[in-house]
Every structure is written in C-alpha cells, then in structure tokens.
C-alpha cells in the first residue's frame, strides 16, 4: 500500500503543470531555453494607504461596487488578478470580483463578463495586511489592451488599500453591480483601490520601474497611458513593464506611501517573472531635507551617505535574486516651487548623479538628467520637456525618457534570475 501511495505521489509530481511549479523551477526552465510557461506581470500598481483626501468616499464604504480599467503591457491566454488589503486594518470581504472587456468609459462588454474565483469560490475574505491571487482564468488578453475589473464588498476595510495616482478613471456605485453593463448612478474618480496587479501565463519576463511621482506619471494626461513606463512598454513588445511609482516617494523615509527600502520586497522581488529593475528615486529625499527648515553642511553630507548606501542595498539585493539593475540619474528641478531648491540642494543632486554614473554597482545607467535638462540652463528642465512645474516632465519629456533607455539592457541572453 505504501509503495502504491508513493507511486501516486511521484506520478502527480510528473504531471503537475509548470504553472504550479516553484518559481525557481519555472525560472530555470525559461532561462535554459525550454520555453516553460510561468506567470509574468502585465500590469501592476504600488500599493499604499491613501491619504485622507484620496480615501474611498464615505457613501461607498459599505455595499458598493468599484469598477476599474487597467492597461496591460503583455498579452496572454490565461490570467490571474492580485488583490490587496496590505494596509487595511480589518479583513476585506469581497462578495464578487469580475473581469470583462471594457466598453465605453465605465461600461463593460456583457458577453465578456467573467467571475474570478479564489480556491474555486466566488467570494473571498482577505486578511488585514495580506494580498490574494485569483485562480488562473482562461481569458485572452492582448498586449497594450485593457481589462475592466469590477468588485463588490459589503464592507470595505477602513480604509481600503489603493493607489491614488492612477491617472485613470475608476467608477463607484452602490450595491452589487459587478455584472451590469453600465453602472447605475456612478461616481467617477482618478484612483485605484484593492486591485494591485494582473499577470499572464507565458514564457516572457518583466521589468519593474521603482520610483516616485515621475515614474507614477505626474504631468502626463490622465487616460492616455502616457507615463514613461507606458512609452517604454511600447518599445518592448513581448515583455511586461510594471510601474511601481508612488507620488512623493523617498528612498529612506516613509511619506506618501512606504519608502523604496521598505517596499522593495513586495514591489520588486515578489512580482511575477521580473528579471530587470529600473531605479529612479531620490529627488524627494533631497527636497525634504530643507523644505521646512535649513540644514547644516553636515546634514547635507550625511544625507548623501545614507542615500548612496540605500542605492547599493537595492542593487545588491536585486543582484542576489538574479535581477539586472539599471539606475537612473535625477532630473533637473530648479524652479520647483514645492521644494524651492537652492545651490546647496542642487549640489546634492549633482553629487548623487555623479555617484550614480560611476559607483552604483548597477549593470546599466540611463542618464535622465542629461536627457531632460535645458542646455542653456542645465539645472532646469528643457521647456519642451517641462509639464509646467519645473520638476515633472511633460508627455514629450516622458517619451524622451523612454527613448533614452538602451534596449540592449533587456537582451534575453542576460536573463539569469536566481533564487
């Protein structure tokens, strides 16, 4: 009997599909050229606790539907969705989560409406602090296409986890309307809640962009998918590009969202199929040093040291997991009214950029400072690349950033993710 049971166990191991194998097994199959199928991130948003102004409006805290459309970078025939209650203070009970093809804004194509399940069940309760994956679902999606995810909760966790800087429109409505073609009496707002990622089954890989509001797309036109990561995705057909930008984000300290150091594991290492990292962080660390009060020369010097140590930590931790890392220089910021940078702040930026160019230990560099600066005033954005606030690029500036990234960095021969 024991031999019979052992035989069954061995048979189950042999026939188990690659999608259920360990990440290391899936990665090894792909890196060795076997083309083994695995999960690859196609869309993602960094999760945070929305500040009070961006929290879910009170009328929709109970018995409400949220309908959100996300723009994919990579297509596939089987998908799964990641939902987040990472910053919730109570369990989040979702009675239904559906996916569909979008119609007109806020509507879905009824024939495509499909429920997601969790261990075979339509409803799911996500513990406070946790993220859950849906079951794999055969649902064909195209690269650069959109999907709409509608979810209903009888009582949203207070407050729900989300991503305020969506630059895309979500729709809220009372009651369970997840299958409605058009929501009754919807309210529109530009935030994402609960939905954290979409992955597809395939043999491709993904790149994560870890950054602040410049990566998050501030200054781009809402609804146009005009972040520099969107522009990069269009240059990288067949790869997933995952935007992990948070407005106001810093390397070292939490602010509007957890610091880059605090969120590195969740936002980079835990992503499906990631093999490359592009790191653009630090301008908010420099700016907050003196925003509220002057800083001494010793304070400036100490911040530089802490930042460079943090950069090396990110590079080393990424390398330890087999990721290739591209660091990005910090773009011009003189004239930005929020921080009002002076000569000492600008000297800090130049020091950081010089270090990034020569001492980061990364595999590659993209010099966004050189790309974006005004040749006549190198401490300022070029007028055509300035959205108007003198820090965040315009749509043309974001395109220039994407165009500056060397595509050779993503050559498949360099793939070697280790566990």
Q: Does the pLDDT at position 23 exceed 90?
A: no
Mean pLDDT score, 305-311 = 98
User: Strands 131-133 and 324-328, how do they pair?
Assistant: unpaired
Burial class (CB in 10 A: 0-12, 13-18, 19+), 163: buried
Q: Does the pLDDT at position 9 exceed 60?
A: no
Q: How confident is the model at residue 12 (pLDDT cuts 50, 70, 90)?
A: very low
- For the chain, what percent of residues have pLDDT higher than 70? 90
Contact by Cβ (8 Å): 116, 97? yes
Q: How confident is the model at residue 159 (pLDDT cuts 50, 70, 90)?
A: confident
Mean pLDDT score, 235-258 = 96
Mean pLDDT score, 343-367 = 98
Q: Does the pLDDT at position 18 exceed 50?
A: no
255-277 tens-digit pLDDT: 989 999 999 999 999 999 999 99
Mean pLDDT score, 296-314 = 98
Mean pLDDT score, 44-69 = 95
Q: Does the pLDDT at position 371 exceed 90?
A: yes
**Mean pLDDT score of the chain:** 91
Q: Does the pLDDT at position 68 exceed 80?
A: yes
pLDDT of residue 35: 72
Please give the Cα distance from 267 to 129 (Å, whole number). Answer: 15
User: Which two structure tokens, joined as six digits, stand for 214?
Assistant: 């410049």
pLDDT of residue 301: 98
- Buried (b) or exposed (e) across 257-281, using 16+ Cβ within 10 A? bbbbbebbebbbeebbbbbbbbbbb
């Amino acid at each position: 009997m024991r031999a019979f049971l052992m035989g069954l166990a061995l048979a189950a191991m042999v026939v188990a599909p690659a999608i259920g194998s360990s990440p290391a097994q899936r990665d090894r199959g792909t890196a060795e050229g076997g083309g083994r199928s695995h999960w690859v991130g196609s869309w993602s948003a960094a999760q945070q606790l929305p500040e009070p102004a961006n929290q879910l409006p009170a009328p929709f805290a109970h018995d409400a539907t949220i309908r959100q459309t996300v723009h994919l970078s990579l297509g596939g025939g089987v998908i799964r969705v990641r939902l987040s209650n990472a910053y919730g203070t109570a369990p989040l009970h979702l009675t239904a989560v559906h996916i569909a093809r979008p119609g007109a804004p806020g509507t879905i194509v009824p024939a495509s409406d499909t429920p997601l399940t969790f261990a075979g069940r339509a409803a799911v309760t996500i513990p406070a602090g946790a993220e859950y994956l849906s079951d794999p679902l055969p649902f064909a999606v195209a690269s650069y296409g959109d999907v709409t995810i509608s979810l209903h909760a009888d009582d949203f966790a207070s407050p729900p986890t989300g991503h305020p800087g969506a630059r895309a429109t979500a729709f809220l409505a009372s009651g369970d309307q997840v299958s409605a073609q058009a929501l009754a009496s919807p309210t529109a707002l530009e935030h994402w809640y609960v939905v954290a990622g979409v992955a597809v089954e395939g043999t491709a890989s993904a790149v994560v962009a870890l950054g602040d509001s410049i990566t998050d797309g501030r200054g781009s036109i809402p609804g146009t998918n005009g972040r520099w990561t969107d522009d990069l995705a269009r240059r990288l057909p067949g790869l997933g590009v995952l935007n992990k930008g948070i407005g106001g984000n810093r390397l070292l300290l939490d602010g509007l969202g957890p610091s880059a150091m605090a969120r590195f594991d969740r936002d980079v290492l835990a992503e499906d199929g990631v093999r490359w990292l592009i790191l653009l962080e630090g301008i908010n660390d420099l700016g907050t040093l003196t925003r509220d009060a002057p800083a001494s020369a010793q304070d400036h010097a100490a911040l530089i040291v802490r930042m460079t140590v943090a950069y090396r930590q990110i590079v080393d931790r990424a390398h330890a997991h087999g990721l290739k890392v591209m660091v990005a220089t910090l773009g011009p910021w003189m004239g930005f009214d929020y921080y009002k940078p002076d000569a000492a702040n600008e000297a800090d930026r130049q020091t950081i950029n010089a270090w990034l160019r020569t001492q980061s230990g990364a595999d590659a560099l993209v010099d966004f400072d050189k790309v974006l600066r005004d040749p006549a005033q190198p401490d300022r954005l070029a007028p055509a690349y300035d959205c108007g606030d003198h820090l965040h690029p315009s749509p043309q500036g974001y395109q220039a950033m994407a165009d500056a990234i060397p595509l050779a960095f993503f050559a498949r021969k360099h793939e070697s993710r280790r566990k």
